[in-house]
């Protein structure tokens, strides 16, 4: 039995071109007692052509879940948390090469803070809580707090079954649909509703190496899309910040 489940999703171009590089890079992690769980929607699975990824699946070196509903980036955690209720879940992105100590930092921080969500990069929510408001402050050495928000690109550890059966709650499913393209914001709201604090790992390095080349057209498209969505993202964080304030945190 592994000590943690590493959960990831991917779709479109990144699934065949970038995800395999990320999965291969996990061999460099100093903490190796983990199992990878990959969730794909059926359409993307049918378009899977990467030989390395196909081999990992066929030889059961990674666990594969075919989603019955496409929750987009929420596939990164939604089905894995249902299947592996007794183990901590570490989420990773499909286009980020993490430092070698990432998993050990998360696991060791969780052992000392078993009731907390643990993140390698964490910021404090103030006002609307995101960059366009000028209120995004990176947390370094702090006690766990309800006001902290872990950033998904740097990887996050969620304690076993910390959210309960949220996937069977119609109100929570509605919130996922409302934030279909922003899993980090939804999960922060869920942490608030469940009374879960966030702890940073105080990582030795803040470097995150993207597997995308700076001249890659797909990367330019992604950055442009992210810029266009920035105001909406700030508004969504504003809703979460208001929810936090309304319950006294």
| Per-residue pLDDT reduced to its tens digit, 34-81 | 999 999 999 999 999 999 999 999 999 999 999 999 999 999 999 999
Contact between residue 119 and residue 35 where contact means Cβ atoms under 8 Å apart: no
pLDDT reading at 241 higher than 80: no
d(CA 21, CA 187): 26
C-alpha–C-alpha distance, residues 195 and 215, integer Å: 43
For the domain made up of 4-246, give the CATH fold: Spore Coat Polysaccharide Biosynthesis Protein SpsA; Chain A (3.90.550)
- Where does the chain have alpha helices with state H? 13-17, 19-25, 42-46, 51-58, 78-83, 102-112, 170-178, 183-194, 217-228, 230-246
Highest mean pLDDT among 98-102, 137-141, 213-217, 245-249: 98-102
Pairing of strands 89-91, 4-9: parallel
Point out the least confidently predicted range of 88-92, 119-123, 124-128, 144-148. Answer: 124-128
- Chain segment 159-191, per-residue pLDDT in tens: 999 999 999 999 999 989 988 888 988 999 999
pTM, full prediction: 0.86
> What 3 state SS string does 130-183 have?
CHHHCCCEEECCCCCECCEEECHHHCEEECCCCCCCHHHCHHHHHHHHHCCCCH
Confidence of residue 130 (pLDDT cuts 50, 70, 90): very low
Residue range 88-110, pLDDT digits in tens? 999 999 999 899 999 999 999 99
Q: Once rounded to an integer, what is the mean pLDDT over residues 123-147?
A: 63
What's the confidence (pLDDT) of residue 122? 87
Give the chain's mean pLDDT: 84
Per-residue model confidence as pLDDT tens digits over 9-21: 999 889 999 999 9
pLDDT of amino acid 60? 95
């Amino acid at each position: 039995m592994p000590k943690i489940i590493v959960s990831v999703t991917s779709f479109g171009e990144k699934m065949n071109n970038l995800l395999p590089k990320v999965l291969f890079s996990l061999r460099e992690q100093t903490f190796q007692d983990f199992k990878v769980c990959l969730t794909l929607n059926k359409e993307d699975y049918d378009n899977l052509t990467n030989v390395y990824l196909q081999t990992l699946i066929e030889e059961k070196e990674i666990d594969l879940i075919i989603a019955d509903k496409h929750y987009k980036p929420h596939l990164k955690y939604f089905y894995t948390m249902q299947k592996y209720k007794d183990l901590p879940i570490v989420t990773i992105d499909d286009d980020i090469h993490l430092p070698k100590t990432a998993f050990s930092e998360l696991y060791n921080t969780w052992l000392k803070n078993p009731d907390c969500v643990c993140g390698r990069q964490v910021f404090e929510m103030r006002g609307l809580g995101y960059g366009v408001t000028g209120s995004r402050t990176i947390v370094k050495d702090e006690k766990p707090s309800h006001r902290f928000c872990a950033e998904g690109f740097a990887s996050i550890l969620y304690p076993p079954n910390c959210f309960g059966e949220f996937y069977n709650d119609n109100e929570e499913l509605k919130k996922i649909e409302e934030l279909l393209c922003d899993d980090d914001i939804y999960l922060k709201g869920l942490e608030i509703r469940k009374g879960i604090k966030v702890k940073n790992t105080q990582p030795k390095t803040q470097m995150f190496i993207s597997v995308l080349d700076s001249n890659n057209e797909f990367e330019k498209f992604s950055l442009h899309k992210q810029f266009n969505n920035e105001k909406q993202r700030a508004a969504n964080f504003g809703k979460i910040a208001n929810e936090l304030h309304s319950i006294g945190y």
